[in-house]
Amino acid sequence: MLLHQKKTAYFAKANKIITIMKNIITLLALISILIAGCSSTETHDILTKNDKGINTTAHYNKDKIISLWGEPSSYESNDSEFGKDERYEYNGNLITFSENGNLNGFDIENTDFTITWGGVSIRVGDDVSIIQNIQNATIQNTPNGHFKVWIGDEFIGVSSSGGKITAISFSSSI
């Protein structure tokens, strides 16, 4: 009888441990989901033309870019130690990709493209005060009407004249 009581107590403790472990695993899974959902990496389209956009997390090749935005005014491709680097120019606007299709940067100087940063859509020609609406941003005023609009470790550069945005630039920190 004593052996039976010991076995019963052992199995009861084992069941409690299994229940605790299941709860811990469930909690860790929920934490992982929350962390992934709260990531500071922007996954929405950051750069759009004609309502067709690209983002900082996807990979793009020449065919995909042309299917989105049409033939560029000019195109350059070079191989580097990290993969293919590409440069597209659309009507004076420069967009670059590195490491086989990662958005590396852009310089936008006309109204052909819209930039979305911190939940706010911005275009050349907009009133520069629009940058005050950018969520979770730190705005650094630099000389001559230039601003750096930081979100985390990434920023866009905004140039202005007469209170209007004249250019928007981005260079990836990666």
For 142-169, how does the pLDDT look when each residue is reduced to its tens digit (9 = 90+)?
A: 888 899 999 888 899 999 999 999 999 9
Number of domains in the chain: 2
Same domain? For 101 and 153 the reply is yes
For strands 120-122 and 114-117, give the pairing: antiparallel
Q: Which residues contact 147 (CB under 8 A, 6 or more apart)?
A: 128, 131, 139, 140, 141, 157, 158, 159, 160
Residue predicted with more confidence, 12 or 35:
12
- pLDDT at residue 29, rounded to an integer: 55
Per-residue confidence band for 42, with pLDDT thresholds at 50, 70 and 90: very low
Residue 76 shares a structural domain with residue 11: no
Is 60 exceeded by the pLDDT of residue 30? no
pTM, full prediction = 0.72
Same domain, residue pair 70 and 105: yes
**In angstroms, rounded to a whole number, what is the distance separating the alpha carbons of residues 71 and 90?**
8
51, 35: one domain: no
68 and 25, same structural domain?
no
Whether 122 and 80 share a structural domain: yes
Range of the domain at 28: 1-39
Q: How far apart (Å, rounded) are the C-alpha atoms in residues 170 and 98?
A: 14
Residue 109 and residue 159 in one domain: yes
**pLDDT tier at 57, thresholds 50, 70, 90:** confident
pLDDT above 80 for 88: yes
| Rounded Cα distance, 167 and 93, in Å | 10
Q: Domain check: are 60 and 126 in the same one? A: yes
